[in-house]
Structure 1
């Protein structure tokens, strides 16, 4: 959360230097595939993503090592951005953590469900329903006007799909990754 706050303090120039930008990625600025998730359209956009992270921690209380958090953030950011790059070629720019947060919710809720947590099951069903609704009906106009830009709903889908693959690869759905990076 502190990293997101810091990148917002960099202002417009920081956002321009770190955002997902298709043309600049094609020109060799590959870091943008990861860093675009860590910058926001403005303070309200940042606040909404920070609240999403706070709710995540409350709903998914399993302790994770710092290394696991970093690994999750990097892989989810990269996978979500690669999904946008290859499957949404009309998208030229993107900023925000919402796609990654959707993925973090999947990774946090499934282990809770395996422990028979019905609240987590309800939240996962809501997440799946939300994704389906967004892809069918689009983003509410009020969301886009509040954020000051277009909501890239595909980022939510690709963040979730990346998390699904991550969960299988790192066996999140069979055990917790509390301490090691095995």
Structure 2
């Protein structure tokens, strides 16, 4: 492991958005963030030491690949520490909390922003989202994900128990002898 990188363990608390530019109230840019608590660093004697009580971290692909997180999930990762109590360049991100496999969430920035908006009810005014573009992108991603899952189920149910995927592609069945059809 690089000398500048350390192992961290932290607790997921939630997600939020930070406006980072654009035209306020018309077309703002957002940065999706994770709220992490009790960030601990693994020291040279293999003991966990509290580094920071709270951190906001960019909700990037490394974290999105964990799936839909729940409050109090424990996450471990490697990163570079900053003196201000933050960390950058997270890698080797993994979920330590046991439980059922987590529901997938989008990895693309626009869809992820829509996901965060729907999770927190952010920018929801009078039954409509103030910035529907992000929510629409997320809902389109959900529809694609659902239709892909339905298609996968249909394809897997069309294979008989004696067929393997490999043999299915070549037009033979798993229980046939060479040269027979």
TM-score interval (norm. to shorter): under 0.3
More strand by share: 2
Greater Cα radius of gyration, structure 1 or 2: 2
Q: TM-score, normalised by structure 2?
A: 0.25
Q: Using CA pairs below 8 Å that are at least 6 residues apart, which structure has the higher relative contact order?
A: 1
